């Protein structure tokens, strides 16, 4: 495990400047097939949980695939079966990454429109395939300051959220691939 001492923008730095890159659970690891447990609200502001969030962010920052920024990371992928995921901030780049934290998310589908896109995942390294997702969703969640939000997402962010939410339900993109012939090395 690599431990980095790292200062970064205040929005991301809540309690700690010491972070660790976490191990990634790969497809076949049973934790990826479990339904993750809610985060007790009383735990959100705890030093331990805030440190875990910092470690998830550092892990997502350190795992760009083929030079691309990781779009999202869910807790089961770092071996913790708990209901939290990260999604890249709009405008983030691999040179200047940034992630938003979504705790205890609940999805409501707000459209019948489906979009097809190519997806890959840190837990299925080097392979990806085509998946259909809803083009718009509403998400209720808590942020890392314990504040509740309700927000509409569309386009690529709606897709990222559905992919990460599936991780909390024990579902991988490969379960939803439109046609196995679209699965390729990437």
Which residues of this chain interact with Zn ion, rule CB under 5 A?
121
Q: How far is the CB of 15 from Zn ion (least distance, A)?
A: 26
Structure tokens at 186: 């990437």
Least distance CB 120 / Zn ion (angstroms): 8
Chain position carrying tokens 């901030």: 89
Minimum CB–partner distance for residue 93 and Zn ion (Å): 20
Question: How many other C-beta atoms are found inside a 10 Å radius of the C-beta of residue 125?
Answer: 15
Q: Which is nearer to Zn ion, 50 or 173 (CB)?
A: 173
C-beta of 88 vs 121, nearer to Zn ion: 121
Active-site residue list? 164
Pairwise CA distance, residues 149 & 172, whole Å: 26
CA angle 85, 25, 81 (to 5 degrees): 50
- Token output for 133: 């997702």
Give least dist CB 109 to Zn ion, A: 19
* Nearest to Zn ion of 39, 121 (CB atom): 121
Short-list 125, 133, 128, CA closest to 157: 133
50 versus 119: smaller Cβ distance to Zn ion: 119
């Amino acid at each position: 495990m690599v431990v980095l001492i790292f200062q970064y923008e205040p929005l991301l730095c809540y309690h700690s400047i010491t972070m660790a890159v976490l191990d990634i659970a790969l497809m076949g690891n049973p934790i990826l097939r479990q339904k993750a447990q809610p985060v007790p609200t009383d735990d959100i502001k705890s030093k331990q949980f805030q440190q875990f969030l910092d470690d998830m962010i550092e892990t997502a920052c350190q795992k760009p695939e083929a030079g691309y920024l990781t779009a999202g990371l869910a807790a089961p992928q770092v071996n913790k079966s708990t209901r939290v995921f990260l999604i890249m901030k709009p405008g983030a780049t691999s040179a200047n990454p940034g992630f938003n934290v979504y705790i205890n998310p609940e999805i409501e589908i707000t459209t019948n429109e489906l979009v097809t896109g190519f997806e890959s995942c840190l837990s299925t390294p080097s392979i990806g395939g085509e998946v259909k997702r809803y083009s718009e969703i509403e998400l209720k969640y808590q942020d890392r300051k314990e504040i509740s939000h309700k927000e509409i997402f569309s386009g690529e962010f709606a897709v990222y959220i559905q992919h990460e939410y599936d991780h909390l339900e024990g579902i991988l993109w490969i379960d939803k691939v439109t046609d196995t012939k679209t699965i390729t090395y990437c």
